Structure 1
Amino acid sequence: MLLFVGLGNPTPDSEKNRHNVGFKIIDTINKEFGLTKQKPKFKGLLTTGNIDGKKIYAIKPLTFMNNSGVCIRELIEYFKIDAEDVIVFHDDLDVEFGKIKAKFGGSSAGHNGISSIDKFIGKDYSRVRIGIGKPKGNINVADYVLQNFDEDEIIGIEKISKNITESISILVEKKLDLFSSTVNNK
């Protein structure tokens, strides 16, 4: 079994924020693969289903970005999911907008959601870093990630979401480099 985690903030005004791209990916996966209706469990919105014969749990933590690890730890302890079977989708300033980089382990690179998960379950899990690009001008990074995507960016995020779902079987097999190159070359 695998756990897909989409990072974001649960408030209605955060829905289109750059920081909420992980939620968007989980929503797209839920819809594309017919996962169950979202239920509030483990301090998050949980769905379940099967993708390519694997049991999938997908969650959007409702603990706010900086406390995402609380939700994840509760869920993996309950279902006895190994950290190695956790795949987290999150925004990344250091990745070009509209690109992804999937990797196993590593540092949080200053991402508070990833830091929280590291604190609660360790660093031995996979991450799908979704590029939101760097702020232009004198915009503070914290303000930038909490801004809404503009209309062109929304179209770009919809495209990357579609590319991720079309390549999900590669991700389910945990072939992270192949997954990254396949998604980025669509």
Structure 2
Amino acid sequence: MEQNTSNYNTLAIKAIIGLGNPGLKFEHNRHNIGFLVVDALSEKYGGTWQHREHMEYANILINNKKIILIKPQTFMNTSGKVIPWLIKQGVNVKNILVVHDELEKKFGNISIRFSGSSRGHNGLRSIMSVCGPDFARLRFGIGRPERKENVGEYVLQNFTEPLDEVQRLIDQAVDKIILLFN
């Protein structure tokens, strides 16, 4: 069930998990759009990244609401390892927003969805294996490869679109997230 962001202002988001793979090799890959979006949020709101087992995290305030930003450092397929720590911090699973790449959406199409299946995304599958499907997702469209190539190879490639276009879309994703706190 696709919704626009105006229906989400009652979600009380307390944590935003950006999905990606750790390391410079993956920094600008399509699969790392979640990292890029939470990095932009951290920069905009003065967050300082700290290291913990399985993750980097930063605390920010959006409209006087404390938000924990997380970048799992376990590679995509085991992203769910960060969930127990969030629960220990008092964050209910229903108050989590996961930012991830979405093959089934055209490049640059950004939407927010609550609940649902993993749609084949291994990072979402890992999180759902720990806490179930009832959390919000910001789905950032990366499109499917034009040629018949391995999807795994495609998502691990750098964006082919101009970097200023990718940055503009990251800024749009940040703006959609900020609307959740108005």
Same fold (TM > 0.5): yes
How far did 1:172 drift? 2.9
How far did 1:145 drift? 0.3
Partner of 2:119: 109
Where 2:66 maps in the other structure, the secondary structure is strand
CA RMSD of aligned residues (A): 1.3
Structure 1: distance between partners of 2:53 and 2:87: 10
1:25 maps to amino acid: V
2:27 maps to amino acid: E
Choose the corresponding residue for 1:14, options 23, 26, 46: 26
Q: 1:77 aligned to 2:76?
A: no
Q: Identity across aligned pairs (percent)? A: 37
TM-score norm. by structure 2 comes to 0.89
How far did 1:151 drift? 4.6
Partner of 2:71: 60
2:178 maps to amino acid: S
Partner of 1:123: 133
Partner of 1:170: 179
Structure 1: distance between partners of 2:145 and 2:106: 11
Partner of 1:176: none
Where 1:134 maps in the other structure, the secondary structure is coil
Number of aligned residue pairs: give it.
Answer: 170
Partner of 1:150: 160
Q: Is the contact made by 1:42 and 1:75 (CA closer than 8 Å) also made in structure 2? A: no
Where 1:130 maps in the other structure, the secondary structure is strand
Structure 2: distance between partners of 1:66 and 1:144: 16
Structure 2: distance between partners of 1:74 and 1:66: 16
More helix by share: 1
Structure 1: distance between partners of 2:52 and 2:95: 19
User: What per-residue deviation string (whole Å, max 9, x for no partner) do you get for residues 36-91 of structure 1?
Assistant: x10112411100021012110001000110000011x2222220110110000000
Structure 2: distance between partners of 1:159 and 1:47: 23
Choose the corresponding residue for 2:58, options 47, 51, 59: 47
Instruction: Point out where structure 2 has 5 or more consecutive residues left out of the alignment.
Output: 1-12
Where 2:117 maps in the other structure, the secondary structure is coil
Partner of 1:140: 150
1:104–1:33 CA distance, 2 compared to 1 (3 A): same
Structure 2: distance between partners of 1:120 and 1:56: 21
Where 1:172 maps in the other structure, the secondary structure is coil
Q: Which runs of 4+ in 1 moved over 4 A?
A: none
